[in-house]
Amino acid sequence: MATTTATITLSSSDLTGDALSLSSTSTLTKAGTLTGLDQTTGVGRKTTTATSQYTLVDKADFADDKAHKVYIKNTSTVATENAVITVESQLLGRLYAGDWCLLPYNGDTDIKITPSVSTSFTVEFMVIYEG
């Protein structure tokens, strides 16, 4: 059984009136079980030179109604460059330079990216999924 653990830590000395320090850890498991997710696409990169929307994660590649996870990172170092993330036709949000996300993924929708610039723009991504 594969074991994959995701951890996020948020800290700030000046975001609130008090110091902020949050940490959460989760073992990524198959839907409705304690068995670890056992498949991955591997970490990949997609580079484009256009601002047109494209499919980053194709629903045809994954089983529906599962506990897949999707990691996406904007690798840009230019603060204004961002990637709009859309799930099917629903705008989810923007990842600015260096931003990343880990999304739960049901496997029945496409995840699309729209770069903000027509110069070379790269996102890093991986799907951890149920085989």
Are residues 82 and 94 in contact, defined by beta-carbon separation less than 8 angstroms?
yes
For residue 124, the enclosing domain spans 34-129
Residue 5 located in a structural domain: no
For 19-35, write each residue's pLDDT tens digit: 999 999 999 999 999 99
Residues in the chain, total: 131
The overall longest dimension of the chain from CA atoms, in Å, is: 47
Distance, CA of 11 to CA of 102 (rounded, Å):
18
Name the 3-class secondary structure at 30: coil
Residue 23 located in a structural domain: no
Mean pLDDT across the stretch 99-119? 97
For 49-91, write each residue's pLDDT tens digit: 999 999 999 999 999 999 999 999 999 999 999 999 999 999 9
Q: Is the pLDDT reported for residue 123 higher than 80?
A: yes
Q: Is the pLDDT reported for residue 1 higher than 70?
A: no
Q: What is the CATH number of the domain that holds 42?
A: 2.60.120.10
Strands 111-115 and 39-40: unpaired
Q: How many domains does the chain have?
A: 1
**Strand blocks (E) in the chain:** 5-12, 20-27, 39-40, 44-48, 54-57, 68-74, 82-87, 90-96, 100-105, 111-115, 121-129
Residue 27 located in a structural domain: no
pTM: 0.94
